[in-house]
Chain A
């Protein structure tokens, strides 16, 4: 699980072009949207595509994203449970 969390942090930094943020600066429980990393709705779409492309998870209801993308912890848990690749 900790490997997956590290992988997610790397992917988020790279795919969302968070050039000024280091992996160590993202805590597992930090909120990804709003106060935390400050991601927005376009980033949410990027993350939905990432789940599909890298882990074979299709979100039928985009509203699910609200809870899944709360933090690195919640993302990792959802991926562990639902991944097909």
Chain B
């Protein structure tokens, strides 16, 4: 029989002040922009300066969020490290490629090369804690984080590992913003985060963030919730999404009526929010609903913020007003479904329950 999988700790660096795990969205950072950067913690409190000087932003963010998660779980090491990222340390990748062009393929320096691969984050975390176990990075656009969750869940269910550090990270750099602005994936006009869903414009507010979790097949005092199921779908027609969701829930012995909260990935893109709106007014019209991308912004692993949010809600038994999408109240949330997609592709479902 498969073992259950628990979320034993969390760590986050995001556009909000989530790096302080003692708080739960007490202070909200409101922006009116087309992009949103993370609120930087005091990196020097986590990373020695000699190491920090070679770290890209994504590595710094992930060092903080992974250390926060490890500390809360009471662990100094784990059996495996699994990271999901859409673009890895793209800042150094861009600099490395630019160096190749500018210097006619000569004089390439090692630092940027080391950091220009997607698996730098998982490697740096492993080096930092001396983890010689399984180390894997999933690069799969908007389901990168979910892909790493699936891997961890299978290993824990089959008792191949006891504690796994799982995370999702993406950093935002100028080149990436410029190219995505050019192709219209970023809003052309600033959007007020408090009115994101009524901006009625194309594209999203691009951002960044890092979310890490210790998943385990053993429950402990710090446990937030149980991870019941994760599923990804590269493409689904909008009409077929309700069927997929119902099948997913049935597979995990649940039904729509069992859900105490549905967290949706609306990002204010008038072309693609229809995927969520169809569910809000259809399949989930009688269920409490929440959204989060007005807080996290949009990036390939933004669903990590939703996972962090769900874990917090289930542990603290409170739903912050700022994330509520409808007025249906729930006093003690026990089961949460997260649904996310980006530009009509790479859909994901994650089901969590209180334990």
Q: Give me 5 other A-B pairs in contact (C-beta within 8 A), A17-B53, A53-B103 excluded.
A: A17-B54, A20-B49, A45-B110, A49-B107, A53-B107
Q: How many residues of A contact B (CB 8 A)?
A: 13
With most chain A CB atoms within 10 A of its CB, the pick from B53, B107, B109 is: B109
Q: How many residues of B contact A (CB 8 A)?
A: 12
Contact check: which of A20, A38, A45 meets B109 at CB < 8 Å? Answer: A45
Contact B110 A18 (CB under 8 A): no
CB contacts under 8 Å to B, within A40-85, are: 42, 45-46, 49, 52-53
B residues with a Cβ closer than 8 A to A are 49-50, 53-54, 103, 106-111, 114
Contact B111 A49 (CB under 8 A): no
Complex interface: chain B residues within 8 A of A52 (CB): 107
The majority secondary structure among interface residues of chain B is loop
Contact check: which of B53, B107, B108, B114 meets A16 at CB < 8 Å? Answer: B53
A-B contact pairs, 23 of them (CB 8 A): A15-B109, A17-B53, A17-B111, A18-B53, A19-B53, A20-B49, A38-B50, A42-B54, A42-B110, A42-B111, A42-B114, A45-B109, A45-B110, A46-B109, A46-B110, A46-B111, A49-B107, A49-B108, A49-B109, A52-B107, A53-B103, A53-B106, A53-B107
Complex interface: chain A residues within 8 A of B103 (CB): 53
Distance between A40 CB and nearest chain B CB, rounded to angstroms: 8
A residues with a Cβ closer than 8 A to B are 15-20, 38, 42, 45-46, 49, 52-53
Complex interface: chain B residues within 8 A of A38 (CB): 50
Q: Which residue of B lies closest to A45 (CB)?
A: B110
Complex interface: chain A residues within 8 A of B108 (CB): 49
Complex interface: chain B residues within 8 A of A20 (CB): 49
Complex interface: chain B residues within 8 A of A42 (CB): 54, 110-111, 114
Q: Which residue of B lies closest to A54 (CB)?
A: B107
Complex interface: chain B residues within 8 A of A46 (CB): 109-111
Q: Which residue of B lies closest to A47 (CB)?
A: B109
Distance between A84 CB and nearest chain B CB, rounded to angstroms: 15
Distance between B113 CB and nearest chain A CB, rounded to angstroms: 10
For the complex of A and B, 6 pairs with smallest distance between CB atoms: A17-B53, A53-B107, A45-B110, A49-B109, A46-B109, A49-B107
Complex interface: chain B residues within 8 A of A17 (CB): 53-54, 111
* Distance, CA A46 to CA B109, complexed state (A): 6
* Distance, CA A38 to CA B50, complexed state (A): 8
